[in-house]
Amino acid sequence: MQEGLLEVVRNYLHITWIDENTDKNLTDAINSSMARLREIAGVSTVDFTVEGLARDLLKDRCRYINSQALEMFEKNFASELMSLHIKSQVDAESDVVDI
């Protein structure tokens, strides 16, 4: 897991208590969210540590997991997920160097 994301998600979800089970659940949600968002983006280099679309989607996907409504996430965020995919593909193309 990328450094600092547990605290970011904890703050976003207004979780102020310290609990081992809560931290494990949040860590699992963060890891599964990063994997799914990288899959949607089509690249493995998505950086969730910086403010931006990817981090916002990660926080919202964790919110849906925490609310037990994950099945609605991709439907409700379809345009944002498409933007993440397109931006990631454009960024990946610009990283390719012609020799």
pLDDT at site 93: 83
Q: Write the DSSP symbol of residue 15.
A: -
* Distance of alpha carbon 4 from alpha carbon 77, whole angstroms: 24
* Chain position carrying tokens 């976003």: 12
Give the chain's mean pLDDT: 93
Nearest one of 63, 47, 64 to 55, comparing CA atoms: 47
Structural domain boundaries of the chain? Answer: 5-95
pLDDT at position 96 over 80: no
Under a CB-based contact definition with an 8 Å cutoff, are residues 9 and 58 in contact? yes
Given pLDDT bands bounded at 50, 70 and 90, which one contains residue 1? low
DSSP-derived 3-state class of residue 13: coil
